[in-house]
Amino acid sequence: MIEPDHPNLSISRQCELIGLPRSSYYRKSSCDESQENLKIMRLIDEEYTRHPFYGSRKMVEYLRRQGYEVNRKRVQRLMRKMGLASVSPKKRTTNPDKGHKVYPYLLRDLEINRPNQVWCSDITYIRIRGGFVYLTVVMDWYSRYVLSWEVSVTMDDSFCVSALRRALRGHSRPEIFNTDQGSQYTGERFTGVLREHGIKISMDGKGRAMDNIMVERLWRSLKWEEVYLKEYNSVNELVEGLREYFRFYNHERPHQSLKNLTPHEAYTSQSWLVCVA
């Protein structure tokens, strides 16, 4: 995927072109699971996307019905590795760091009626043949427009910060940025970029995964319309598939809630001015 001795492109440039943070290139993949565990993780991912309220107990019963003799401890470990938890008692993605500041949720009862009023971000697990990676996006809440995205072999904060910086370079800054309470978002590297640009920081309430509902809907669409239909042989193939899907999602896929505009049309249209005038 990356050619260290490429005559014209540096490693940094190659990573940028395929949407892979440079730090991930130098770091070993987190994929150290057996083939059976990878199959189980695939089933967990698909079932969780159908039923995000499933915790480890229900997932154990589901897997046993599929013929896998698993115990709860094993399923809990795999779900933690995938960044999954039942939406009912816990948050959706990652664990907060006790040393990080958690900001209040600013979107409750807020009418979001224009582009760049609120941006949001999240992380999800994406399987490939023989392993998995993580995907993050930055999205405009009003238009559902995906402003930037990146993949990583580890779930640290570097690719989240990189995606944020890329979105800010290419678009007008938002008034508010909303995320969950995962350590990737509560850390100084991520929040520091937001404060540097004068952006208000909003975080989902604990136990309220649906506070970031727009990204949750994107993950569901992405997985059922793209990821589950294909078997990616490598990160490179996945990146190409994601690039094509997000082009389709942003520029061709109409949304009924946007009066059948595409996200790009809603993001760049001036029709929202009428709504707030």
Q: How far is it, in rounded angstroms, from Cα 251 to Cα 188?
A: 34
Residues 59 and 47: beta-carbon distance below 8 Å: yes
Quote the Cα angle for 241-243-38, to 5°.
40
Instruction: Determine how β-strand 176-179 pairs with β-strand 131-140.
Output: unpaired
- Position 204 scores a pLDDT of 82
Phi, psi at 68, each rounded to 5°: -105, 125
pLDDT, average across residues 2-18? 60
* b/e sequence 30-52, b meaning 16+ C-beta within 10 Å: beebeeebbebbeebbebbbeeb
pLDDT, average across residues 229-256? 94
Q: What is the pTM of this model?
A: 0.76
- The topology under which CATH files domain 118-276 is Nucleotidyltransferase; domain 5 (3.30.420)
Q: How far is it, in rounded angstroms, from Cα 228 to Cα 189?
A: 33
- Position 53 scores a pLDDT of 80
User: What is the pLDDT confidence band of residue 93, given thresholds at 50, 70 and 90?
Assistant: very low
Which has the higher per-residue pLDDT, 74 or 102? 74
- Position 33 scores a pLDDT of 82
The one-character DSSP state at 135 is E
Which has the higher per-residue pLDDT, 71 or 92? 71
- Position 95 scores a pLDDT of 52
Q: How far is it, in rounded angstroms, from Cα 91 to Cα 69?
A: 27
Amino acid identity, position 274: V
Q: Does an H or E element contain 205, and which?
A: none
Q: In the structure encoding, which two tokens stand for residue 104, read together?
A: 């209040």
CA 183, chain centre distance (Å): 14
Q: What is the DSSP string of 225-270?
A: HTGGG---SSHHHHHHHHHHHHHHHHHT--BGGGTTB-HHHHHH-S
- Position 112 scores a pLDDT of 94
- Position 253 scores a pLDDT of 95
- Position 271 scores a pLDDT of 56
User: What is the pLDDT confidence band of residue 26, given thresholds at 50, 70 and 90?
Assistant: very low
Domain ranges within the chain, ordered by starting residue: 118-276
Q: Does an H or E element contain 211, and which?
A: none
pLDDT, average across residues 84-95? 54
With the CA atoms of 45, 248, 145 and 181 taken in that order, what torsion angle do they form, in degrees rounded to the nearest 10? 10
Q: How many CA atoms lie within 13 A of 255 on its CB side?
A: 20
150 bridge partner residues: 136
Instruction: Dump pLDDT digits (tens) for 206-223.
Output: 545 556 788 989 999 999
Quote the Cα angle for 240-40-156, to 5°.
55
Give percent of the chain with pLDDT exceeding 90: 56
Check whether 49 has a pLDDT greater than 80. yes
Q: How far is it, in rounded angstroms, from Cα 81 to Cα 93?
A: 10
